[in-house]
Structure 1
Amino acid sequence: MKLLTNWLAVTARLPRQHKLALASLSLLVGAALVWQPHPFSPKERQSLPAVNQRQEPATVDHSEPIEQSMDANDPALSVPEDALEQDITSEAPRVHHHTVAAGDTLGEIFSQYGLSIGQLYQMLDVNDKAGDIRRGQKMEWQVDEEGQLLTFTVYQSIKYRDDYQFGQGTVDYQRLETKGEFESVTLIGRVNSSFYQQARQSGLTPNQIQNLVSALQWRFDFGRQSRRGDQFAVQVNREFIDNKPVSSGKVTAMLYKSGGRDIFVYRHHDGRFYDQQGQSLDRALRRYPTAKRYRISSSFNPHRKHPITGRISPHNGTDFATPVGTSVLAAGDGVVVKARKHRLAGNYVVIKHGREYSTRYLHLNRILVKPGDHVSMGQRIGLSGNTGRSTGPHLHFELLKYGHPVNAMKVPLPEAHPVPNDERRAFQRQAKRTHQALAQRLNG
């Protein structure tokens, strides 16, 4: 104690700048004493892509209390599946796709889509080059009902792809090589009971059916509009080795005849489907559900941790600090499937946009639509508020892809762009020839 008293007396006589320097040095020493090294060494982590796992304060103004996060799979907030969607998902999990953009890292992609960071580490453990990705690369993956990866594929080139298969705490990795020759195969069918059943009988896989249903979701609803007697012809590019098919192949075109109506789609080399004139089949979505941009009070973060308990408390949407009464706008064309009150979400609206996307709007002061309403992009659907569990007036906005929350501020959104002008004429010629060939198969 006497030593401490003498030390304090000496420091009290020091000039102010010396006192500040001494205080700074003390803080640095204290930080060094309490610092604990991360369980991963720098060498082990040097290839790890950037991952957003920031911690947030226990109470965020204009957001939800972190200790009571909303369940992304709460049936009250979910979009019900129709018969066609149930048929598709009953046989195989949905396939998600992503094209690497400039500046993307694998960690950021995982964060955007709410994928498990632990499974990303597993991939790096079995392949230390898993994080080496480049602009334009294609990726696809499947997840289970809990959002855990089942498969993850990275296409390195036309010839090679990296394939990851996940089990109970394990992952198998192999680089697969395309060795065969590709040929176009035409599959034909006639609807007797349901489009899905006849498509399966014709030789299409659940994933191929899913791709077609998603591509045509804005032009034709196979679950609601298909009728007995409808005909279809599908062109598939399959790989053969020694005249035996070794893959289910990729769908390149489809002609569907329903009554006096012909629906035709053709896949361009960019991997997207267009109509015969090269026009997009998509409807665009907007990132912001308000007329102007408001401050983001809490960002999308499926890996968010409570700073005290250390428990994962996901935040599956984006919170905007909007004043009470701010107009809330539909993010895209769609159908209202939920418009009601919830003990945590307050007044909320859920909109289904085709078969791939849906959006949620929570803590509203007032709801201006009802279930079954068809809404257009930018249409006013409610007024923001402070209902439910909330720490202040705000709008909680969620974007879901096939029922799984994704980061609306980051993920690529569908855009209604046609085939580029300099490629459109060649595209139209090839699409016309394919349309004629499929029509002949159906008429023959």
Structure 2
Amino acid sequence: MKLYKAVATSIRGLPRQHKIALVSTSVLMMAAIMWQPSKQSVTFSTSTPKRVDVELPAKLDLLSEQDSEPLGVSLDQNDPEFQAPKDEIEQQLVEAKAEVEHKHRVASGETLGIIFSQYGLPISDMYRLIDANKSVQHLRVGQTLEWEVDDDGKLTELKIIRSKKETDTFTLSKKGYVYKEIILKGDIKPVMLTGRVDGSFYNSARAAGLTPTQIQTLVKALQWKFNLGREAHKGDRFAVGLDREFIDGKAVSKGEVNAFYYKSGNGKNNFFIVRGDDDQFYDDDAHSLNRSFRRIPTAKRYRISSPFNPNRLHPVTGRRSPHNGTDFAVPIGTSVLAAGDGVVVKSRYHPLAGNYIVVKHGREYMTRYLHLSKREVKVGDKVKMGQRIAKSGNTGRSTGPHLHYELLKNGRPVNAMKVPLPQADPLYGKERSNFMKQVSFYKKKFKDAMAS
């Protein structure tokens, strides 16, 4: 009896993958023994067999994972069931195929590998980039990475903006990534575009000379302040400040949005925003346009039972089985808190996700909360960061009580525990002084442009 208890205790202490391998091997061996024909005679004993009770661990889930997405099963990230509906201007941008802005500013201590893991980009693509040109690994603090991905999450283009005039590009071709260094040879000059709303803001901005991608930049910058699709009215005026490259007096680039001024006809929605040195937008008093996010959607920190891993492999089959969120080992009934200000766009039941909630935060972020025991908000409810929206549970396809939490940026899962989160801090000191000089510069330019 003691021997069996010792064996059971040993099994309980094994890592999960070892348990899976042990049981799989045992099943195969038993099947092989039962299948093999025996050439020896079998002697049956007439004595009463002795009963042996073997004590097994109470929760020995050997053939399943302690998370929300069992091996071989993944939630479809593109399923409309889990997506937020798009409003008019978002739909117009989709139809115009505006480039989705995937961007990261390099911080101290970050490497290419760390950045790839934060955003769930394929590590295999990173090695192919290195094969194309090893300079991709040489990142400096403050440099900006921009990239595009296809529907499967594969990297199709990467840009490393080294300076205002120097950019490294890696573009996917049939033979792999092609490296190209782009050095601007012309002069960078500010350009002012002006317009008046006549119909939709999108069409009016296009008529003024803005590209769909530039319009998308404005829509995201103002996501917490003003809805350019719904709140813009006929007769409202606007001006946009861009930096463009000129060669022999001719513009050779579309430019990046640096400032935006909007003046409504009724005078109630006048605002002015400028891009700071940190690549974020602020109002004319150096206050951030962002809303803060919390890293963890619970009141206190719990053990992570299954981390974010979009490249997770099945330990037996070797097939890719992504885990696009973070699982917290929380007791049933634990309060689940909204990660940021937003609007509830889904609150329902799903066979795999169980009771779940989806919250849309502005136009760039979305969070998902799965396997809940109780939902405390409904579709259309506005929530604040830190507000309780549900209680954790064990509903749907779940092997134990836990909270599965996902953060999506621009529609793609990212590592909520590591990716940089929006901050709403204003600028101070030297940064504020430099910023206010830009404010004065663009205010004068806009005044002249609007008067002409």
TM range (shorter): 0.7 to 0.9
Which among 160, 177, 194 is matched to residue 200 of structure 2? 194
Tell me, in whole angstroms, the C-alpha distance in 2 between the residues paired with 1:116 and 1:92: 23
In the alignment, is the contact (CA less than 8 A) between 1:60 and 1:297 conserved in 2? no
Partner of 2:253: 247
Count matched residues. Answer: 388
Structure 2: gaps (5+ residues): 1-61
1:426 is displaced (CA, Å) by 4.6
Amino acid in the other structure paired with 1:346: G
Partner of 1:167: 173
Tell me, in whole angstroms, the C-alpha distance in 2 between the residues paired with 1:168 and 1:200: 34
Label 1:326 to 1:435 Cα distance change in 2 as closer, same or farther (>3 A). same
Amino acid in the other structure paired with 1:156: R
Deviations 1:41-69 (A, max 9, x none): xxxxxxxxxxxxxxxx8633354312212
Amino acid in the other structure paired with 2:140: R
Label 1:316 to 1:198 Cα distance change in 2 as closer, same or farther (>3 A). same
TM-score, normalised with respect to structure 2? 0.83
In the alignment, is the contact (CA less than 8 A) between 2:145 and 2:158 conserved in 1? yes
1:336 is displaced (CA, Å) by 0.3
Tell me, in whole angstroms, the C-alpha distance in 2 between the residues paired with 1:246 and 1:234: 18
Partner of 1:79: 84
1:427 aligns with 2:435: yes
Tell me, in whole angstroms, the C-alpha distance in 1 between the residues paired with 2:195 and 2:150: 31
Q: How does 1:25-174 map to 2 (within 5 A)?
A: 59-90=64-95, 91-168=97-174, 170-174=176-180
TM-score, normalised with respect to structure 1? 0.84
The runs of at least 4 consecutive aligned structure 1 residues that moved more than 3 Å come to none
Q: The residue matched to 1:76 in structure 2 has which SS? A: helix
Q: How does 1:41-440 map to 2 (within 5 A)?
A: 59-90=64-95, 91-168=97-174, 170-258=176-264, 259-260=266-267, 261-440=269-448
Q: The residue matched to 2:317 in structure 1 has which SS? A: coil
Tell me, in whole angstroms, the C-alpha distance in 2 between the residues paired with 1:272 and 1:121: 30
Amino acid in the other structure paired with 1:396: H
1:433 is displaced (CA, Å) by 4.3
Tell me, in whole angstroms, the C-alpha distance in 1 between the residues paired with 2:134 and 2:189: 35
Tell me, in whole angstroms, the C-alpha distance in 2 between the residues paired with 1:139 and 1:269: 15
Tell me, in whole angstroms, the C-alpha distance in 2 between the residues paired with 1:145 and 1:83: 22
User: Sequence identity of aligned pairs in percent?
Assistant: 54
1:116 is displaced (CA, Å) by 2.2
Deviations 1:292-351 (A, max 9, x none): 010000000000000111110100000000100000000000000000001100000000
Amino acid in the other structure paired with 2:94: T
1:110 is displaced (CA, Å) by 1.3
1:437 is displaced (CA, Å) by 3.2
In the alignment, is the contact (CA less than 8 A) between 2:337 and 2:389 conserved in 1? yes
Label 1:277 to 1:364 Cα distance change in 2 as closer, same or farther (>3 A). same
After superposing the two structures, state which structure 1 stretch, 289-298 or 153-162, moved more.
Answer: 153-162
Tell me, in whole angstroms, the C-alpha distance in 2 between the residues paired with 1:427 and 1:191: 29
Label 1:320 to 1:418 Cα distance change in 2 as closer, same or farther (>3 A). same
Partner of 2:51: none
Tell me, in whole angstroms, the C-alpha distance in 2 between the residues paired with 1:158 and 1:434: 19
Label 1:62 to 1:393 Cα distance change in 2 as closer, same or farther (>3 A). farther
1:239 is displaced (CA, Å) by 0.7
Amino acid in the other structure paired with 2:393: G
Q: The residue matched to 1:212 in structure 2 has which SS? A: helix
Tell me, in whole angstroms, the C-alpha distance in 1 between the residues paired with 2:146 and 2:295: 23
Amino acid in the other structure paired with 1:246: V
Tell me, in whole angstroms, the C-alpha distance in 1 between the residues paired with 2:142 and 2:190: 25
Tell me, in whole angstroms, the C-alpha distance in 1 between the residues paired with 2:115 and 2:426: 26
1:144 is displaced (CA, Å) by 2.3
In the alignment, is the contact (CA less than 8 A) between 2:274 and 2:438 conserved in 1? no
Q: The residue matched to 1:121 in structure 2 has which SS? A: helix
In the alignment, is the contact (CA less than 8 A) between 1:63 and 1:391 conserved in 2? yes
Tell me, in whole angstroms, the C-alpha distance in 2 between the residues paired with 1:425 and 1:156: 24
1:118 is displaced (CA, Å) by 2.6
1:247 is displaced (CA, Å) by 1.0
Partner of 1:5: none
In the alignment, is the contact (CA less than 8 A) between 2:325 and 2:404 conserved in 1? yes
Label 1:290 to 1:347 Cα distance change in 2 as closer, same or farther (>3 A). same
After superposing the two structures, state which structure 1 stretch, 72-81 or 115-124, moved more.
Answer: 115-124
Q: The residue matched to 2:81 in structure 1 has which SS? A: coil
RCO comparison, higher one (Cα < 8 Å, 6+): 1
In the alignment, is the contact (CA less than 8 A) between 1:106 and 1:131 conserved in 2? yes
Amino acid in the other structure paired with 1:380: R
1:108 is displaced (CA, Å) by 2.0
1:214 is displaced (CA, Å) by 0.9
Tell me, in whole angstroms, the C-alpha distance in 1 between the residues paired with 2:425 and 2:395: 38
Deviations 1:201-248 (A, max 9, x none): 211112211111111111111122111222110011111011111111
Amino acid in the other structure paired with 1:176: I
Tell me, in whole angstroms, the C-alpha distance in 1 between the residues paired with 2:65 and 2:429: 48
